[in-house]
Amino acid sequence: MKTITPPKTAGEKAILVQLIWGEATREQAADSLAELENLADTAGIKVAGSITQHRDRPTGQFFIGEGKVQEVGMACEKSGANLILFDNELSPIQVNNLDLTLGVKVLDRTELILQIFARRARSAEARIQVELAQLQYLVSRLPTSIKQARFGGGIGMRGPGESPLQLRNAPMRRRISELKAKLRLIQKRRVDQRQRTWPQISLVGYTNVGKSTLLNALTSAEAYVDDRLFATLDTKSRLLYLPSGRQAMLTDTVGFIRNLPHGLVASFRSTLEEAAQADLLLHVADAGHPFVTEHCTVVFDTLREIHADRVPTLLVLNKCDQPAAHLALPHLRTLFPDALTISAAARDGLTELKQRIAERIGPAQTPSAPEASTPDPQNDPA
């Protein structure tokens, strides 16, 4: 069985489509659309334009209204776009209906993120995680009757003329079990290697906030840094030397993003589990981002999902060298009085950060012990 489907998005031109409904405000919707454009850029897709619609609720047939579908079709024709990227999550039937009506490939936000992951995964572990994410996403979208049928085809993202409805299921479930077992083995080896000699600290946070930059600034990790979403899929760990004379193992993680489907989070458990098992989390946030508080909420929610919300956490407001951060700081300090303010890029505030980490980690004589509340890694609910 093939391990991974190469992404098919490179060199494509897209129209972005967004439906604003329910409780979403205009500002949130605009930020979400800007994020989708960033995701498209990360995937190497040119954006030819965007179309937004307001409705009370989505339509069953196309998600957006029929008139809007025609408008999207005309925009594709006019701009030569060969791809439609939806900011909202669509049902397989809606994708199918749009494909058939418009004759243009349609991807929703989640599929786009999965394709970025597929392109960026380098290590064996990350590639297994991506395949697992793709399979779990496909399984989660199959109607029950199809889920119970037998599966005989290949795996991977939906290709031209191929719909999730045509996929059948038993070998997928077998493959999912195989991949989970492989991941557990890789993870166990890693944990065994470290043998919890050092206290474990995980860097967590929204994507593109500067986690890898901070890892580099605090250690000599030389982790990959890029002004793109999901720069890090292959995470690094490095020893951090604290002023107390103590050392701790600092680990980077995959960035979080809003509306990340649960199946995908579960697939990235082996890196996220590190966060759940850590002795301390450094929650890094971009203080200059206009939606920093929403980003923090996404991170809090995701940590709860992976049972990491009981791990002691230091909130680190990064990018404080930026003028936008200066403006936001008074408000952020009221919201998060215990947060530290730093600039990982300018290496500002790192001495105080190390001091605070040392205080949280405790004196060198204290052996580190995992909290009883950490979840059982064998007990994967996905």
Ligand X SMILES: Nc1nc2c(ncn2[C@@H]2O[C@H](COP(=O)(O)OP(=O)(O)OP(=O)(O)O)[C@@H](O)[C@H]2O)c(=O)[nH]1
Q: Which residues form the interface with ligand X (CB under 6 A)?
A: 205, 207-213, 225-227, 229-232, 255, 318-319, 321-322, 343-345
Which of Mg ion, ligand X, none lies near 210, with the C-beta cut-off 5 to 8 A by kind?
ligand X
Which of Mg ion, ligand X, none lies near 343, with the C-beta cut-off 5 to 8 A by kind?
ligand X
Which of ligand X, Mg ion, none lies near 261, with the C-beta cut-off 5 to 8 A by kind?
none
| Backbone phi and psi for residue 243, each to the nearest 5 degrees, phi listed first | -60, -25
- CA 42, 45, 48, 53 torsion-angle sign: negative
> What 3-state DSSP class applies to 340?
strand
> Closest distance between Mg ion and the C-beta of residue 250, in Å?
13
If you ran DSSP here, which 8-state letter would residue 316 be given? E
If you ran DSSP here, which 8-state letter would residue 381 be given? -
Dihedral (C-alpha) 271, 164, 47, 51: value to the nearest 10 degrees? -110
> Closest distance between ligand X and the C-beta of residue 261, in Å?
17
Which secondary structure element, helix H or strand E, spans residue 365, and what is its range? none
Nearer to ligand X, 202 or 212 (CB): 212
CA 183 – CA 169 distance, rounded (Å): 21
> Closest distance between Mg ion and the C-beta of residue 211, in Å?
5
> What 3-state DSSP class applies to 173?
helix
Q: Would you mind telling me the total number of residues written for the chain in this entry?
A: 382
Nearer to ligand X, 266 or 342 (CB): 342
In sequence order, what are the residues at sequence separation of 6 or more whose Cβ sits closer than 8 angstroms to the Cβ of residue 242? 248, 354, 357, 358, 361
Q: Given the rule CB under 5 A, which residues bind Mg ion?
A: 211-212, 231-232
Nearer to ligand X, 276 or 342 (CB): 342
Nearer to ligand X, 139 or 218 (CB): 218
Which of Mg ion, ligand X, none lies near 229, with the C-beta cut-off 5 to 8 A by kind?
ligand X
Which of ligand X, Mg ion, none lies near 230, with the C-beta cut-off 5 to 8 A by kind?
ligand X
> Closest distance between ligand X and the C-beta of residue 219, in Å?
13
Residue 180 near residue 132 (C-beta atoms within 8 A): yes
> Closest distance between ligand X and the C-beta of residue 291, in Å?
15
Give the CB-nearest residue to ligand X.
255
Nearer to ligand X, 106 or 286 (CB): 286
- CA 129, 135, 137, 139 torsion-angle sign: negative
> Closest distance between Mg ion and the C-beta of residue 223, in Å?
6
Nearer to ligand X, 106 or 231 (CB): 231
> What 3-state DSSP class applies to 220?
coil
Q: What angle is formed at CA 74 by the lines to CA 68 and CA 76, rounded to 5 degrees? A: 105
Which of ligand X, Mg ion, none lies near 267, with the C-beta cut-off 5 to 8 A by kind?
none
